[in-house]
Structure 1
Amino acid sequence: MTVQRRVSLGLDIGGTNIDVALVDADDGSVSYYGKFSRHTYTVAEALKIEPVRRYVESARRVMLSTSRVLNTFLETKLPSTSLVLAPGPGLPPPRSLAEECIVIEGYVDPRGIVLEDVDVKEIVRALERKAMESIAIVTKFSIRNPILEQRILEAACRVMPRERIAVSHKIPFLDYRRRAATTVLTAKLKLVLHDLMRELGSWLKKLYLIKGDGGAQPLELAVENAALALGSSQASIVIGVQAVLGSVTGVIVDVGGTTIDVVPIASGESQLTTLHFRDADTYIVVPRFESIVAGGDCSIAVVDGRGRVVPRRAGVPAAFGGEQATVTDALNYALELSIGDHVRSRRVIRELARKHGVDPRDLAQGVVEDVVSKVVELVRKTGCCGPIIAAGYLGKHVAPLIAKECGVGCIVPEHYHVLNAIGAAATSFSLEVGIYYDGVDGKAVFTPSGRVIEAKKRFIDKGDILEMAREELIGIARRLDAEDLVGDIEVVHYDSFTVVKERVPQGMVAHCIIRAKPKAMIRVRR
């Protein structure tokens, strides 16, 4: 009898390379890995190359991490946004979160009761007048009752494609200012994931996206909270190190084509930090990291007679057929490496040196020293005194130099050059699920699904509330064919109170949020 082995396919889409890793979930072996230059292949083309195509077609799931969302956030002009806001009574509305803020009438009270409906026709007219490129929809207590946001969404879809519209009731937390900031960012970034969905259309049902907390969600679900994918690549590298090295403490130095990322970890885990947007907190968490534009594809120049890295991507290094000298070419020359066409690297370095009247070895060494000094500064900024952990296709060559300057050890893990893809393959399902239970009104509302059921008990134990939330989370994972990816479940928030009328308790109201905690589900065999 043949036993079918469980394999997980990880895919990391960076600015320069597409990394693929096939990991056996049963014995932890990495049975295949590959790296494809985005200068040569689109993502769809890379996935059609054998044996990758065969693995993708046979895989149950394809786990994807990407730096596209973060790069778009950092490097491009984001689409303009109309924030349609129904704040109700209370504090002034956060108008500064978007280019235009349309404050409308309409109110759901703290217990989810609609006290004032929205005017759909007026919303349509207001949106047509503003002519923004995306729309964010936020009502104050939408997680208690999403009906007003759903009506506003119907109106917004008359003037804007659905893929450019974000709603806040998919986020299970109550603070509507933080939900508003998160929703505006999602509206601005949704198109990045929709473009990726179009590019990978034939495999869409299998695709899971790694979020900034390190966990995975089906891409079709994750796109509704696209901003949560900020930090996807940094999170997957942490899970990759966790899968390969276990509970290690140190500083990951991930040397990519465009950037070098520095990520401190303790006992295999990163410190998650909350992203701020336009002076407001969001519900977006990303690993704490520092980054510098000094990767292998970056330009180099001669400044005051010394080689220096230019914080700008030049394109293809000369070692891989490009015309300009880059950091990769300087590494080839200074460290006497054989990356790509190292003869061509040496030629462009000599030509650049001749043009400026300097020694080519001094030029190349100057570039390397400049990169190392900049990264050392970032490492010291983290305050972590552990070893340097090499990652990325140039990590093996750069990390030891950084470790020497910092006076610490250096770890070059097996598969260091595809750790992002391994992390994607090894991670767990991640989802936050909320339940608002109102024993007085006799209803329970779940987020992010928006499902409403009858609350049969006026008073209910905390344990029963937590079990309802857990069953909802497991049910969502089961419907998404991801139940086997659910790891530890933790309680993120719980509060409750008793409604009293004329000194007589009427029932209990409770709000609970739980989370499937991200972690490495596979330990890679050394």
Structure 2
Amino acid sequence: MFIGIDVGGTNTDIAIIKDNEIKTIKIPNEEGFEGAFRRIPAEDIEKSRIAVSTSLPLNLLLSRSEQYPTLSIVVPGPGLNYEKFGKVVRGFVNHRGDVVEDIDEREIEEILKSSEYDNIAISSKFSVRNASIENKIFEIARKYCDERSIALSHYGGGMIFPYRINTAIINAKIIKTVYELTDTIKSLVGDFFYYKGDGGIIPYQIALRNPSELYNSSPAAVAVGAYFLTKERKALVIDIGGTTTDFVLIEDGLPKIVENIEFFGRKTLIRCVDSFSIPFGGDSAVENGKLKPGRIGKPIAFGGENFTLTDALNLEDSEIGDYRKSIEYAESHGIDSRAIDSFVEMIAKSIESMEAERIILTGYLSRYLAKRISRASKVSVIVPDHSESVNAVGVAVSRISLTMYVRYDTESGKAIYNGVVESCPFKLGSLPSDEEMMAYAEQKLIDVIKEQGYDVDEKVNVIYFNSYSVVRGGIKRGKIADIVVQIQPGISKELLW
């Protein structure tokens, strides 16, 4: 069995997939995870793979970043000036992963004592090839700061150092929130997966090291769920939520991905679906015939105090919720349904800008707006089954997806996996074939997932490979290979009906 949960800005959606049947549930966010799991039979929880998508940590960061000041400790070694990225300290790991200069512990202590901060980001230049310096600083820092508020850059992967520093800063600001969220979910269901912004799932333990991977997870889930339910390999997915409306492209059955997302004007290593949003949804208030951006409460039809887009649809026989209350309120306040036209016009303009030839419309209001949007945009619109909870379906059906950065150095006898140095699986000074090195890297990724207690039935792909022989005195002394292996995002094999 497969259970997917997506926490949006307004509602929490649940999808339960059992015996090739899909059941979906939508509840208000006020009920929390406790309310969500109360809706699922206990025996189903015990037998299911559970995955959770939530944008809450990143939303918190974007709305109140200044409340979470970060102490960024940077260990660049000789060369460029990195002072604009944080407190630069002594220490150096070279490109081969050798510690050339150790840290000065007293220097680190003084910075920790004299600085004001809520969280700490620690970034060493070549830590993806040897994270020992970052780990040493972590051990000192945890005496001054909750270790759940400290992020290490090597977990972000990637060799572009400025991007990795910026990613570590983002992680530092949200890591405590993700830990607290994890504790809540674990107390209810035990082990589970988090949903990533590129359309895959990862064990929660791995997400805690690099929580920025959760960014944009909801739009990714919508795209994967829309493909799963329609089998449309190329389309524009439009998800009408309570707070926003999201737009995501599907290309060849997968959401379009963008690399190196910017936060606060600085590029990071974060990769996620290429999406955009407009700040209007079903709970957007209507004032003087116009929609107001954002959300200020529930619609009148659902016990709220504000007339919304949802209520306006009830003026045109949609019968959503307690539709009579919407009509009564509109009549007593002289409100009409013009706001619907302006909303549909915004959608149509966005469709035109993206030159979409097929639309998959999702969200609670999709079936009420489909014909209007199709007429306005002159594009064919599909409303799939379970359209109101496509996001949760996408979370439920996605496969485990993980990326590993690997370096083998047979001259020095070292293997490095995401910054962790281990003994090389090849003999010292040997010259293994490229195929052998790739095979070991692929197996290592599988072993890491199995160490977390999960089986892997998906193919591991080599997405980058480069190798060369180390020659000294005219003799080949060993071989170095840099490899990036990945289980790519997609739909779990068990669910390819």
Same fold (TM over 0.5): yes
Which residue is equivalent to 1:140?
A: 125
SS across alignment from 1:163: helix
CA distance in 2, matches of 1:196, 1:269: 28
**Which consecutive unaligned segments of at least 5 residues does structure 1 have?**
1-6, 354-359
Structure-2 residue corresponding to 1:494:
465
Contact 1:181–1:282 at 8 Å: present in 2 too?
yes
User: What is the deviation of 1:421?
Assistant: 0.9
Cα distance in 2 between the residues matched to 1:330 and 1:125:
61
Cα distance in structure 2, aligned partners of 1:42 and 1:77: 24
What TM-score, normalized to structure 1?
0.89
Q: Which moved more, 1:509-518 or 1:241-250?
A: 241-250
In the alignment, what sits opposite 1:345? Answer: 326
2:37 maps to 1:47: yes
Instruction: State the 1:115 CA deviation.
Output: 0.9
Deviations 1:322-344 (A, max 9, x none): 111112111222x3111111111
Give the match for residue 68 of structure 1.
56
Whether 2:277 is the aligned partner of 1:291: answer yes
2:218 equivalent to 1:233: yes
Which residue among 297, 320, 330 is the counterpart of 2:302?
A: 320
Distance 1:491-1:506 versus aligned 2 partners, 3 A rule: same
Report the 3-state secondary structure (helix = DSSP H, G, I; strand = E; otherwise coil) of the residue aligned with 1:413: coil
Say if 1:204 and 1:115 are closer, same or farther in 2 by CA, change over 3 A: farther
Sort the Cα spacing of 1:10 and 1:450 in 2 relative to 1 into closer, same or farther, 3 A.
farther
Matched to 1:62, the amino acid is: I
Taking the aligned partners of 1:233 and 1:463, their CA distance within structure 2 comes to 37
How many residue pairs match? The answer is 494
Residue 311 of structure 1 aligns with which residue? 293
Match of 2:438 in 1: 466
SS of the aligned residue for 2:281 comes to coil
Match of 1:205 in 2: 190
The residue type equivalent to 1:19 in the other structure is D
Amino acid at match of 1:38: N
* 2: CA distance, partners of 1:155 / 1:287: 37
Aligned to 1:332: 314
Q: CA deviation at 1:59?
A: 2.9
Aligned 1:79-118 pairs, distance under 5 A: 79-93=68-82, 95-97=83-85, 101-118=86-103
Aligned residue identity for 2:284:
C
| SS of match in other structure, 1:322 | coil
AA aligned to 1:339 is I
Hey, what does 2:6 align to over in structure 1?
Answer: 12
The alpha carbon displacement at 1:196 in A equals 1.4
Of stretches 261-270 and 285-294 in structure 1, the one that deviates more from structure 2 is: 261-270
Secondary structure at 1:477 match in 2: helix
State the superposition RMSD in angstroms: 2.0
After superposition, residues 166-185 of structure 1 pair within 5 angstroms as 166-185=151-170
Q: Is the 8 A contact 1:214 1:235 kept in 2?
A: yes
Deviations 1:445-488 (A, max 9, x none): 1126654445424222111111111111111121223324x423
Structure 2: runs of 5+ lacking an equivalent:
none
2:256 equivalent in structure 1: 271
Q: CA shift at 1:172, angstroms? A: 3.1
CA contact (8 A) 1:388 1:399 kept: no
Distance in 1 separating the partners of 2:137 and 2:371: 55
Superposition deviation, residue 310 in structure 1: 0.5
Partner of 2:357: 386
Shift of 1:96: 4.0
The residue identity in structure 1 corresponding to 2:322 is: D
- Matching residue's letter, 2:412: D
- Identify which of 383, 397, 404 aligns with 1:412: 383
- 1:83·1:135 contact (CA, 8 Å) conserved in 2? yes
Identity percentage over the alignment? Answer: 29
Alpha-carbon distance, 1:86 to partner? 0.3
Matched AA of 2:167: T
Name the SS for the 1:85 alignment partner. strand
* 1:398 equivalent in structure 2: 369
Q: Which amino acid aligns with 2:69?
A: S
TM-score (normalised: structure 2): 0.94
Shift of 1:254: 0.3
**For residues 193 and 452 of structure 1, do their structure 2 counterparts lie closer, same or farther at Cα, with a shift above 3 Å needed?**
farther
Q: Secondary structure at the match of 1:313?
A: coil
Aligned CA distance change for structure 1 residues 189 and 411 (closer, same or farther; 3 Å): same
1:3 maps to which residue? none
Q: Counterpart of 2:331 in structure 1: which amino acid?
A: R
CA contact (8 A) 2:236 2:248 kept: yes
Distance across 1 between alignment mates of 2:492 and 2:182: 26
Paired position in structure 2 for 1:356: none
Counterpart residue identity of residue 325, structure 2: R
* 1:416-447 C-alpha deviation (Å, 9 max, x unpaired): 11111111110000111121111111111112
Q: Distance in 2 between matches of 1:327 and 1:67?
A: 23
Following the alignment from structure 2 to structure 1, what is the Cα–Cα distance between the partners of residues 472 and 496? 62
- Cα shift at 1:382: 2.3
Residue 77 of structure 1 and its aligned partner are, at CA, apart by 3.0
Displacement of 1:525: 9.0
For residues 353-376 of structure 1, the C-alpha deviation after alignment (integer angstroms, 9 at most, x for no partner) is 2xxxxxx33xx2x21112112222
**CA–CA separation in structure 2 for the residues paired with 1:8 and 1:246:** 19
CA distance in 2, matches of 1:438, 1:249: 42
Aligned residue type for 2:326: S
SS of the residue 1:404 aligns to:
helix
- 1:481 counterpart SS class: coil
Aligned CA distance change for structure 1 residues 448 and 313 (closer, same or farther; 3 Å): farther
Contact kept in structure 1, 2:244 and 2:294, CA below 8 Å: no
* Kept in 2: contact 1:427–1:522 (CA 8 A): no
Quote the Cα distance in structure 2 between the aligned partners of 1:248 and 1:69: 31
The offset of 1:36, in angstroms, is 0.9
Residue 59 (structure 1) aligns with: 47
Q: Distance in 2 between matches of 1:445 and 1:170?
A: 13
Relative distance call for 1:412 and 1:316 in structure 2 (3 A) is same
Provide the C-alpha distance between the structure 2 equivalents of 1:236 and 1:352, rounded to a whole number of angstroms: 39
